[in-house]
Amino acid sequence: MTAPYLAALGLREPPFSKEIPDAELWLPASKQPVVDGLLDALDERASVVLVGEPGVGKTCVLRALRHRIPAAGFRLTYCHNATLGRRDFYRQLCVALGLSPAATAGSLFYAVSRHVEERAEERIHPVFLLDEAHLLHQDTLEHLHILLNYHWDSRALLSLVLVGLPELRDRLALRRNRSLHSRLHHRLEIAPLTPDDTAEYLRLRLRRAGCDRELFASDATALLHEATAGSMRDLDRLAAAALRETARRKRKLVERDTVARVIEEDTRERDR
Ligand SMILES: Nc1ncnc2c1ncn2[C@@H]1O[C@H](COP(=O)(O)OP(=O)(O)OP(=O)(O)O)[C@@H](O)[C@H]1O
Ligand SMILES: [Mg+2]
């Protein structure tokens, strides 16, 4: 059943849910080059670091990559728990790869690197996507370049894609991480949304939910952009709250005063 506040605004589903199929992810001119950059890097069998502020769409870009990469030649493995010591990190990787996790750190590492070599024999390029990589333990981070070493470091059999907040870049720049950093040849960044992006994003998500008319007044959109500083997750939360408040006020247009009220409440909640 469609919630009454959605029906009142002519929407058939919540427009700002995170449940958006990979094929329908929005790739404006500001994001397409990041997906293309990832595809180019993986085509070269290279490794990548991708950074961006919270909520700018890093994980969604990985999903867009999953949708676009040729399925036959690549195997993507996604790891989202970076908060593990080295042994547990490799154990997680073993489980994600469908391998039975061994007991010691050495045998876990061996199982993962053997898996990589076996994929090379099948002409499949494995890609390990390490999300939230700014949280990687130092002992894991400084070991990763060893995982990239095959045949006396003469073969590119694996790509690592480290994804995280901008502090990941700062960590990689530390002297103790230079062995890994120098092997991450592609360094990408996702910028926050521009004001035009924000307006386009709102329009697109509303259209997907069944609404073709302009539901947000332009000054309401401008205020949302200012308050969210280009973070789509914040935009999802505040825009959804603004829709609920608009319906409660029995209006058909999301106006600036409604958005201002929602932002005020959100700020009060955050500071409590
Ligand atoms: N390309 C996209 N198309 C449609 N919606 C998107 C897209 N990118 C992001 N979003 C929306 O923004 C939300 C946040 O995006 P995402 O989780 O990718 O951000 P993130 O940069 O990984 O954040 P964090 O640093 O907190 O992990 C998503 O749940 C989704 O609703
Ligand atoms: Mg993320």
Report yes or no on 179 lying in a domain: yes
* Per-residue pLDDT reduced to its tens digit, 255-269: 999 999 999 999 998
CATH of the domain at 258: 1.10.8
State the virtual CA torsion across 99, 100, 103, 108 in degrees, nearest 10. 0
Q: If you measure from the C-alpha of residue 122 to the centroid of ligand 2, how many angstroms do you get, rounded to a whole number?
A: 31
For residues 209 and 79, membership in a common domain is answered with: no
Region 218-246: mean pLDDT is 97
- What span, in angstroms and rounded, lies between the C-alpha atoms of 151 and 249? 67
* Per-residue pLDDT reduced to its tens digit, 45-90: 999 999 999 999 999 999 999 999 998 999 999 999 989 999 999 9
Report yes or no on 157 lying in a domain: yes
Which whole-number Å values give the CA distances from 68 to 38, 48, 96, 123, 132, in the listed order? 10, 17, 21, 19, 22
For residues 55 and 185, membership in a common domain is answered with: yes
For residue 133, the model assigns a pLDDT of 97
For residues 39 and 168, membership in a common domain is answered with: yes
Report yes or no on 23 lying in a domain: no
Q: How far is CA 18 from the centre of its chain?
A: 12
Nearest CA to ligand 1 atom 16: 57
Closest ligand, as measured to the CA of 23? 1
Mean pLDDT of the chain: 95
Closest ligand, as measured to the CA of 197? 1
- Domain end, chosen from 140, 159, 189, is at 189
- Domain end, chosen from 154, 171, 189, is at 189
Report yes or no on 158 lying in a domain: yes
CA of 27, closest atom in ligand 1: 1
CATH of the domain at 112: 3.40.50.300
Report yes or no on 75 lying in a domain: yes
For residues 115 and 38, membership in a common domain is answered with: yes
For residues 153 and 199, membership in a common domain is answered with: no
For residues 209 and 183, membership in a common domain is answered with: no
Mutate to test the pocket of ligand 1, among 79, 233, 238 (most ligand atoms within 8 A of CB): 233
For residue 228, the model assigns a pLDDT of 97
Region 95-111: mean pLDDT is 91
Domains contained in the chain, number: 2
Longest dimension (CA), the chain: 69
Q: Is the pLDDT of residue 1 over 80?
A: no
Which whole-number Å values give the CA distances from 35 to 48, 143, 169, in the listed order? 12, 27, 19
Report yes or no on 118 lying in a domain: yes
Domain of residue 228 covers 4-16+193-271
For residues 183 and 218, membership in a common domain is answered with: no
For residues 122 and 147, membership in a common domain is answered with: yes
Closest ligand, as measured to the CA of 198? 1
CA of 131, closest atom in ligand 1: 27
Quick check: CB of 58 below 6 Å from ligand 1? yes
Report yes or no on 25 lying in a domain: no
Q: Is the pLDDT of residue 231 over 90?
A: yes
Quick check: CB of 191 below 6 Å from ligand 1? no
For residues 177 and 99, membership in a common domain is answered with: yes
Instruction: Name the percent of the chain lying above pLDDT 70.
Output: 100
Region 142-147: mean pLDDT is 95
For residue 30, the model assigns a pLDDT of 86
Quick check: CB of 60 below 6 Å from ligand 1? yes
Q: How far is CA 49 from the centre of its chain?
A: 12
Region 168-173: mean pLDDT is 97
For residue 102, the model assigns a pLDDT of 84
- Domain end, chosen from 189, 224, 245, is at 189
* Per-residue pLDDT reduced to its tens digit, 39-51: 999 999 999 999 9
